Amino acid sequence: MIALAIGAIVAALVFDFLNGFHDAANSIATIVGTRILKPLPAVGIAAFANFAGPFLFGVAVATTIGKGIINPDFVTLDIIIGALAGAIVWDIITWVLGLPTSSSHALVGGILGAGLAGAGTKAVIFGGLQTVLTGIVVSPIAGLATAFLIALLIMRIFAKVKPRTVNSVFGKLQLVSSTYFSLTHGANDGQKTMGVIALILLTQGVITTFSIPSYVILMAATAMSLGTFFGGWRIVKTMAMKITNLRPYQGFSAETGAATILATLAWAGVPASTTHAISGGIMGVGAVRRLSAVRWGVGKRIVWAWIITIPASASVSFVITWMITGLK
Mean pLDDT by 10 residues, the chain (328 residues): 85 84 66 72 82 85 86 89 89 75 82 93 87 81 91 91 88 87 84 89 89 92 85 56 67 91 89 80 78 57 75 92 81
pLDDT of the residue at 200: 92
pLDDT of the residue at 245: 62
Separation of alpha carbons 319 and 106, rounded Å = 15
pLDDT of the residue at 243: 47
The SS3 call for residue 84 is helix
Cα 165 to its chain centre, rounded Å, is 34
pLDDT of the residue at 149: 94
Separation of alpha carbons 275 and 281, rounded Å = 10
pLDDT of the residue at 218: 92
**CA-closest candidate to residue 66, choices 199, 221, 213, 186:** 199
Separation of alpha carbons 24 and 31, rounded Å = 12
Q: Are 156 and 24 in contact (CB under 8 A)?
A: no
Q: Are 189 and 104 in contact (CB under 8 A)?
A: yes
Q: Are 90 and 316 in contact (CB under 8 A)?
A: yes
Contacts 24+ apart (CB under 8 A), 125-130: 125/67, 125/68, 125/69, 125/70, 125/71, 127/68, 128/64, 128/67, 128/68, 128/69, 129/69
Separation of alpha carbons 231 and 43, rounded Å = 8
pLDDT of the residue at 270: 85
**CA-closest candidate to residue 61, choices 326, 273, 247, 246:** 273
pLDDT of the residue at 38: 76
Separation of alpha carbons 109 and 69, rounded Å = 10
3-state helix, strand, coil in the chain (%, to 5): 85, 0, 15
